[in-house]
Amino acid sequence: MALLRSWVTSANDPNGPFPLNNLPYGVFVQGDGDLHCGVAIGDQILNLTRLEEDEHLNLPEILIFAIGSWNDFMELGPKVWAAFRAFLIEALEEGSPKQATFSGYLVPMAEANMAMPFDVAEYTDFYSGRQHATNVGTMFRGAESALPPNWLHIPIGYNGRASTVVVSGTDIHRPLGQRKPAGEDAPVFGPSRRLDIELEMGAIVGTPSQMGQPISVAEADEMIFGYVLLNDWSARDLQAWEYQPLGPFQAKAFATSISPWIVTAAALNSFRTSTPPREVPLLPYLREPGPMLYDIDLSVVIQTKGGSPQIISRTNYATMYFSAAQQLAHHASSGCAMNTGDLLGSGTISGVTKDTFGSLLEITWGGKEPLTLGKETRTFIEDGDTLTLLGHAQGDGFRIGFGDCAGTILPAVEFPA
């Protein structure tokens, strides 16, 4: 596929993140303070809430965008998603007769503040990056038993907190919690000292499944509405103390950041790629009927307080061992009902070399190999640091971008007396 040209001229920049080929969905706030649903096109946002109010959209239900969330639209299902995307492409393409009308509903991105694009129903984080799992397992269990016995057979995950999933640009307070210092007999309570990131992709469930009804990988793939960049902030010292026997809890409950634009599965379709060869055969319910991963370049940027942004990692989503469709199919296999707005974190995405690792835990090898940042060093995140995830799929003369996934760490909030 080549660049689709738009009458919104900024969308024709081959290095821009939001060409006509993309059309990601988001929610923004302008001067009136209300939430508006919009689609990104070049450096503009097409205000769909206003277009719907003025009866310029042809949708099967009324006031889909009035609530300032994409959940109601997601519930309409894949046929409506496809028809609406085709309508938008036709309206925004070069030479469209709708230009005269639609141009009056464009809002400069520079004048808008982005909000959460959807209401997160529930959040599940997986552990499906093989290199990350190998790295972490090697640190804590040794290379000979780095991967748990079940890892090659099953997408491992845990249920996280939907309440603290936030949009890019939201400041994050350093979490408080219990940690057990080395050599001490008892834990202490206070701010985390080993605060970290996890570079992930997030898949958003569009259509629900019923309790008691398993779904195939192909059906799961059809249910996924789109993808966001996801940073599952992690307090490694809290996690080390609390995770046995039930796994992550407060160490990951305090914040998860996502990028503001939902890049639809349709926009990514031409970037599909296969999961890696299997060392052991998967059980039939997890086998994929076709390519289910995506070729998406990813990077991590750190900016210390007063410093300049520096890229500390570059990797690709295609390194994952299990796809989002496999994760979703496994999630529903027990009869667990999946809801519109469920968010699935991919797990940390790491390549095979240090400059492709997706967490500081790996980059600094548990703090033993500090990262040099100009005149400063880091083993883990310090107050005032801003971490930003970036990602795009590279097409023929165009890019499919996600927008930044950024957060700045603020000091911990003092515990009430």
pLDDT band with cut points at 50, 70 and 90 for residue 1: confident
What CATH homologous superfamily does 123-410 map to?
Answer: Fumarylacetoacetase-like, C-terminal domain (3.90.850.10)
Average per-residue pLDDT in the chain? Answer: 96
Examine the pLDDT at 417 and tell me if it is beyond 80.
no
Task: Just list the catalytic residues.
Answer: 132
Q: What is the pLDDT of residue 306?
A: 85
Examine the pLDDT at 374 and tell me if it is beyond 80.
yes
Rounded CA separation 3/18 (Å):
11
φ, ψ of residue 50 to 5 degrees: the values are: -70, -40
To the nearest 10°, the Cα dihedral for 216, 217, 223, 225?
180
Among 31, 28, 32, 74, CA closest to 48: 28
Q: What is the pLDDT of residue 124?
A: 98
Residues of the chain with CATH 3.90.850.10: 123-410
Strand 25-29 to 386-394 pairing? unpaired
Q: What is the pLDDT of residue 415?
A: 84
Q: What is the pLDDT of residue 240?
A: 94
Strand 123-126 to 343-345 pairing? parallel
pLDDT band with cut points at 50, 70 and 90 for residue 99: very high
Residues of the chain with CATH 2.30.30.230: 9-115
Q: Which two tokens stand for residue 281?
A: 């055969």
CATH of domain 9-115: 2.30.30.230
Query: pLDDT by residue (tens digit) across 247-304?
Result: 999 999 999 999 999 999 999 999 999 999 998 999 999 999 999 999 999 999 999 9
3-state SS, residue 87: helix
Arithmetic mean of pLDDT, 14-43: 95
More confident residue, 142 or 44: 44
Arithmetic mean of pLDDT, 76-97: 97
Query: pLDDT by residue (tens digit) across 170-191?
Result: 999 999 999 999 899 999 999 9
Q: What is the pLDDT of residue 360?
A: 98
Pure H helices in 271-387:
324-333, 360-363
Arithmetic mean of pLDDT, 212-235: 98
Arithmetic mean of pLDDT, 364-385: 96
Q: What is the pLDDT of residue 60?
A: 85
Contact 36, 28 (CB under 8 A): yes
Q: What is the pLDDT of residue 30?
A: 85
Query: pLDDT by residue (tens digit) across 133-149?
Result: 999 999 988 888 899 99
Q: What is the pLDDT of residue 250?
A: 96
Percent of the residues in the chain that have a pLDDT greater than 90, as a whole number: 93
Pick the range with the lowest mean pLDDT from 58-67, 225-234, 322-331, 339-348.
58-67
State the DSSP string of 173-200: EPPEEEE--TT-SS-EEEE-SSEE--EE
Q: What is the pLDDT of residue 161?
A: 97
Distances (CA, A) of 321 to 61, 176, 211: 39, 33, 27
Q: What is the pLDDT of residue 284?
A: 97
Q: What is the pLDDT of residue 244?
A: 87
Rounded CA separation 224/269 (Å):
12
